[in-house]
Amino acid sequence: MLTPRGFDPARLGGSHRRRRGRARGALVAVLVLALLAGVGYAGWWAYDRWQDDPEAGQAGSTGPVAASSCSPSQGPVPSPSAGSATASVPVPARQITVNVFNATTKAGLAAAVSTQLEARGFRIGTVGNDPAGRPVKGTAQVRSGATGAAAARTLAAHVAGAQLASDKRPGATVDLVIGNAYSRLRPAAAAAAVLAPPSPSPSPSC
């Protein structure tokens, strides 16, 4: 076989390799474009479905809703202390008759305390030495029957450390028996604070 003049087989092989390289590059480009088109179509399809579902958009925009501790059917729950505030209303001092007795060796103590109690609005009954004739431990003792139990609590609020004692008397009068540890009456403002009903706790609003 005769080879034409100037013909170089190496150059022919190189030309074939270049054509094959260009073909492979074109194929790769087509595959990349097809992949990008598929990804774009998938994204468009997902976005279109998301737009058609309003609940999905609302759930993503509002976030989780905190649960309420109040039941719509029950309404606000009253505070336990709200009803108990009026359960024990103190008896006003002007409605209480107090017998003031001295169980100490300090002369004139019963008379002095009765004057102070009268200035605070109490009605004064008998003033003198303790007819029971027995020592009183602590500051004082407030004696009353069942009818005067509420009045005894009012009186005891004016004497810090006073102890309540019940007897079988029929009336509502109360006795203040002064003990050796007594020094003075509790300030009127402090006594009023002791007698004040507790403030109701705020209830949660729904």
Q: How confident is the model at residue 151 (pLDDT cuts 50, 70, 90)?
A: very high
For 63, half-sphere exposure in the C-beta direction (CA atoms, 13 angstrom radius) is 1
> How confident is the model over 19-39, as a mean pLDDT?
72
Residue 13: strand, helix, or coil: helix
191 strand-pairing partners: none
Per-residue CA distances from 159 to 34, 154, 185 (Å): 97, 10, 5
pLDDT for 54: 45
30-85 pLDDT, tens digit per residue, is 777 777 766 666 665 655 565 555 444 444 444 444 444 444 444 444 434 333 43
Which pLDDT does position 79 carry in this prediction?
A: 39
> Looking at the predicted structure, is the pLDDT value of residue 168 above 60?
yes
Q: Is residue 92 within 8 Å of residue 121, measured between CB atoms?
A: yes
Could you tell me the pTM of the whole model? 0.56
How much is the pLDDT for 28?
74
Terminus-to-terminus CA distance in the chain, angstroms?
A: 105
Cβ contact 131:110 at 8 Å:
no
Between 178 and 34, residue with greater pLDDT? 178
